[in-house]
């Protein structure tokens, strides 16, 4: 389960890092960990169709070159091809990594961004007094990270500015040190905010919870 990825100590360290960012800056940071951004079920059907077509073509070529065993009747061949297709679908259905691997990168990018935008709304990142909310959205299956800033943030910090933040989290995932990657990313976010004038105000309050959201 997703909750087992972060120990109690790791979650506390992340919460403390977010709290430190909000203590020094006027930003409100939300971290969201999702198991995936989509099921990519159509990829299982795509792979099944490819295997089915490949099996039919292989059978046709074997028959053409007279290397198909005589014991293979049309009914038996149909059963074999159907079995191959069924096994292919079952394997693809059980292995989400495989479904992602055969899905077009543009489709993956779109679905991750779509879910990130949904979480931006669900977690009410937009609902801060000065519109200084930031979402760091982590989609584990796809190993994708999206950073979204609210309108107040976007006046000074662009999506290009967040590239280092994104890469730090991705590197952490690849190195199996996601917590460290997140902590480094939060520190970079803090520096970006402070360097662009988003310093803490006397009347600032903690408008959004600091703990990382972990998808069930």
Q: What is the CATH number of the domain that holds 166?
A: 3.10.310.50
Q: By percentage, how much of the chain surpasses pLDDT 70?
A: 99
Provide the domain count of the chain. 2
22 lies in the same domain as 56: no
- Structural domain that includes position 82: 41-101
Does the pLDDT of residue 20 top 70, yes or no?
yes
Read out DSSP for 129-196?
TTS-EEEEEEETTTTEEEEEE-HHHHTT--GGGGHHHHHHHHHHHHTT-HHHHHHHHHHHHHHHHHHT
Does the pLDDT of residue 203 top 90, yes or no?
no
Highest mean pLDDT: which range of 3-7, 138-142, 198-202: 138-142
Does the pLDDT of residue 166 top 70, yes or no?
yes
68 lies in the same domain as 142: no
Q: What is the pTM of this model?
A: 0.89
115 lies in the same domain as 82: no
Domain boundary among 53, 81, 101: 101
What average pLDDT is seen over the chain? Answer: 93
Do 142 and 100 contact (CB within 8 A), yes or no? Answer: yes
84 lies in the same domain as 69: yes
Instruction: Quick: pLDDT tens for 51-89.
Output: 999 999 998 998 888 887 777 788 888 999 999 999 999
132 lies in the same domain as 183: yes
31 lies in the same domain as 65: no
127 lies in the same domain as 191: yes
CA-CA distance, 82 to 56, in Å (whole number)? 10
81 lies in the same domain as 32: no
Do 12 and 150 contact (CB within 8 A), yes or no? Answer: no
pLDDT reported for residue 1: 39
pLDDT reported for residue 110: 98
140 lies in the same domain as 210: yes
pLDDT reported for residue 197: 94
The stretch 80-109 carries a mean pLDDT of 96
58 lies in the same domain as 161: no
- Round to the nearest angstrom and report the end-to-end CA distance of the chain: 8
């Amino acid at each position: 389960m997703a909750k087992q990825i972060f120990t109690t100590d790791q979650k506390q360290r992340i919460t403390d890092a977010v709290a430190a960012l909000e203590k020094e800056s006027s930003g409100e940071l939300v971290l969201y960990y999702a198991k995936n951004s989509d099921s990519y079920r159509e990829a299982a059907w795509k792979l099944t169709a490819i295997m089915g077509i490949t099996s039919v073509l292989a059978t046709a070529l074997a028959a053409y070159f007279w290397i198909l065993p005589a014991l293979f009747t049309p009914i038996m061949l149909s059963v074999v091809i159907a079995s191959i297709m069924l096994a292919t679908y079952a394997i693809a259905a059980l292995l989400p990594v495989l479904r992602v691997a055969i899905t077009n990168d543009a489709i993956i990018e779109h679905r991750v961004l779509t879910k990130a935008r949904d979480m931006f709304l669900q977690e009410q990142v937009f609902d801060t007094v000065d519109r200084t909310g930031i979402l760091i959205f982590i989609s584990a299956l796809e190993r994708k990270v999206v950073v979204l800033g609210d309108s107040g943030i976007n006046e000074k910090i662009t999506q290009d500015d967040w590239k280092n933040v994104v890469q730090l989290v991705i590197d952490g995932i690849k190195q199996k040190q996601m917590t460290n990657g997140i902590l480094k990313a939060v520190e970079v976010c803090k520096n970006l905010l402070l360097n662009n004038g988003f310093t803490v105000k006397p009347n600032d309050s903690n408008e959004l919870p600091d703990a990382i959201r972990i998808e069930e």
